[in-house]
Amino acid sequence: MSPFEESFYICELELQSELAKGEYRAIGRMLSMLRTLRPDDGPQYKWTFNDVFGRVHSFLTHASNISKMFWPMVSSDAPKKPQKLAIWQRTTNRGQHLRSLYNIEATSPLASRDLRNHLEHFDERLDAFFAEISTPGVSPVIIGDMNLGPMSAYSGPTEFKLRNFDPDIQDFHFRGELFNLRVIADEVRKVHQQSWTLNRK
């Protein structure tokens, strides 16, 4: 990768990490605002409550954009056609180069885009969920979704709890899968700091 190309990727990583940091701060602001409201405050409470989850989704979208810069969405097998092979090699090399430049390990919390994918493709997750639990003529008991608080506060099987965010410890559960937003945000901050430093050498 030439220095000219590298500089563009660094600028994009700085932008995406800055946007992700902004959304993460917004989650905190929405939570602080929500603590001053009550459910009977009407639309203001509902809007603020929903915006917490909206900001989480937005934060994860920008974190996913960072992830794709380091781990491009390419097949592990090289294509056979020369033109596609050249693009595949360039894309694969770009990911390797940036991970090396930023000292990003395979264990980085940014490596997984699972939670973002769950939220981005929620319709598909719902299809799979209903296919799993559906019994002809029988309705499911309780489906927990958009829960704000510890998992223990909500009854029912874990697989029936779709989206659950515990703001105190920053744990987001999706049908039993655990993702910690604070850990992701810490890694985003590192990427932003490194990008800022690299852009000003």
Return the exposure string of 150-164: e unless at least 16 CB atoms fall within 10 Å of the residue's CB, then b.
ebeebeeeeebbbbb
Contacts for 48 with CB less than 8 Å, ≥ 6 apart: 30, 33, 34, 37
pLDDT score of 82: 72
Average pLDDT over residues 127-132: 84
The string of pLDDT tens digits covering residues 22-72 is 999 999 999 999 999 998 888 999 999 999 999 999 999 999 999 999 998
**Which is higher by pLDDT, 74 or 134?**
134
Taking the CA atoms of 27, 166, 65 and 191 in sequence, report the sign of the dihedral they define.
positive
Which percentage of the chain shows pLDDT scores above 90?
A: 55
The answer on pLDDT for 116 being more than 60 is yes
Q: What is the pTM of this model?
A: 0.86
What residue type is assigned to position 88 of the chain?
W
Q: From CA 132, how far away is CA 104, in angstroms rounded?
A: 37
How would DSSP label each residue in 104-118? --TT-GGG--HHHHH
Contacts for 101 with CB less than 8 Å, ≥ 6 apart: 6, 198
Looking only at the bridges linking them, the beta strands covering 163-166 and 147-148 are: parallel
pLDDT score of 139: 61
Q: From CA 116, how far away is CA 174, in angstroms rounded?
A: 10
pLDDT score of 136: 65
Q: From CA 54, how far away is CA 69, in angstroms rounded?
A: 23
